[in-house]
Amino acid sequence: MEERISKQELMKMYKVNRSTIEEWRRRFGLPIIEISSHKKYIRREDLMKWENQMRDGLCELSLTPTSV
């Protein structure tokens, strides 16, 4: 079964707040799957692909963790 990462786990991983995750989703295509308004996640495989696209310069976004 595929590994899923919750939105809360993403916030902890990158040390960012909820609005940053939502901005990445809107502006940079972070592939979050929305089950309901309170249940959102991303597949680990999709996250890794998205990170690689960002690193390869397809988008100008620093993935270095920042403080909240």
Residue-wise pLDDT for 15-62, tens only, equals 999 999 999 999 999 999 999 888 899 999 999 999 998 888 765 555
Question: What are the b/e assignments for 43-57, b being 16+ CB within 10 Å?
Answer: eeebbeebeeebeee
Q: How many Cα atoms within 13 Å fall on the side-chain side of residue 45?
A: 3
Token pair recorded at residue 40 = 């959102």
Instruction: Give the pLDDT confidence score for residue 59 in this predicted structure.
Output: 57
Q: Does the pLDDT at position 68 exceed 80?
A: no
Instruction: Give the pLDDT confidence score for residue 58 in this predicted structure.
Output: 60
How many CB atoms are located within 10 Å of the residue 23 CB?
A: 14
